[in-house]
Structure 1
Amino acid sequence: MATNTVKGPASYFPSIEAKYGRPIAEWKDLIRRQDGKKHMELVAWLKQEHGLGHGHAKALVADTVRK
């Protein structure tokens, strides 16, 4: 039996929504509004301004900027 397991950054999304109380679409919108910031600058911004953990911030940024 095949399972459709989510892999990569998106595998963190249920945890992110549960822990921080915002839907992923809202997080992605916030990230997209940070014009000119590089990957790790966005990660640092999410950690400092929104209290995200490092792994959660990296997952959101990775999935947002590659699409």
Structure 2
Amino acid sequence: MPELVLHLDPALRDALHDLADAQGRAPQEVARDAVRRCLEEEGARVRAVAERLARHHADLLRRLGE
């Protein structure tokens, strides 16, 4: 897996390490899960907006496709 370097301010880094320690996990695992969750949530939000816009403009989209 390609490496990604994140530069965190000291407070955020310390919070990440504290959470990882409390969960008995590596900080990288906690960060990876947080990024995954964020991408899933934002992806769902973007899909919902796109679907709402497609429904709202369905007639126009249909006419453009003709």
TM-score scaled to structure 1, two decimals? 0.35
Which of the pair has the greater relative contact order for Cα pairs under 8 Å at 6+ separation?
1
Which structure has the highest helix share of the two?
2
TM-score scaled to structure 2, two decimals? 0.36
Could you say which structure has the larger radius of gyration?
Answer: 2
